[in-house]
Amino acid sequence: MAKNFISNKDETVRMFENDFLEALSKVHYTVPLYIFLPVIAYFLYKSIIFSLSVTVIFLLVIIGLIIWSLTEYTLHRFVFHFPVKSELGKKIHFLYHGVHHDYPMDSKRLVMVPTISIPLAVIFYYLLETIFGDVYVAPLFVGFIVGYLFYDLSHYAIHHFNMHGKFWLAIKNHHIKHHFENENLGYGVSSPIWDKIIGTDFSKKK
């Protein structure tokens, strides 16, 4: 297992001896769009047939985006960077996040694989439905999934696209610092807002 290693090439490392499991660990960055754009369309349709007003739908979509952004921060900080000491724990951590820090340019392991993203989406849907009810959850889940897609695609773009503009460069620089300056700071990928609020942002240097 690779340790204290960072590749700056679009290369990968074999994670599973089984060919099927190995194939499941890789995904093209457009796959989340094929899976979740129909989900967004479906729940937007449900929002309309529930006769919710445009204002209510808009506000709930925004709330869903906010919930996703906090979820993204929480997962990255407390799950992806959960401190492990045992050898088994280190091996498991390498499989679900450590490999990205060792091979940050690996284009096939920059977005969530469907075997992870789909079960997580189902879990979060039923959790949100329990809290908000089966009517309001529809537009809220639209915002949640839009936020997830923005996270996945912006994460890929950070590592592989030439980004321009103050907004995009700020996001890119924030995440690059997480990789190459201090992996215990900068947990927000699609937005640094929660790092700023909670206090895990990088200190500003003159």
Asked whether residue 2 carries a pLDDT value surpassing 60, the answer given is: no
Q: Report yes or no: 189 and 72 within 8 Å, Cβ to Cβ.
A: yes
For residues 140 and 26, the model is more confident at 140
Most confident of 22-26, 103-107, 165-169, 191-195: 191-195
pLDDT average, residue stretch 26-32: 93
Closest C-alpha to 11, from 182, 159, 152: 159
Alpha-carbon distances, residue 149 vs 86, 123, 127 (angstroms): 33, 17, 19
CA angle 116, 136, 40 (to 5 degrees): 45
Give residue 11's pLDDT: 80
pLDDT digits (tens, 9 = 90+) for 149-166: 999 999 999 999 888 888
Give residue 65's pLDDT: 97
CA dist., res. 68 & res. 143, Å (int): 8
Q: Which amino acid is at 146?
A: V
Closest C-alpha to 113, from 22, 190, 13, 5: 22
Give residue 7's pLDDT: 72
Domain boundaries, the chain: 29-165
Is the pTM above the cut of 0.85? yes
Asked whether residue 62 carries a pLDDT value surpassing 80, the answer given is: yes
Asked whether residue 99 carries a pLDDT value surpassing 90, the answer given is: no
For residues 160 and 4, the model is more confident at 160
Contacts of residue 106, Cβ cutoff 8 Å, sequence gap at least 6:
7, 10, 11, 12, 99, 100
Give residue 95's pLDDT: 79
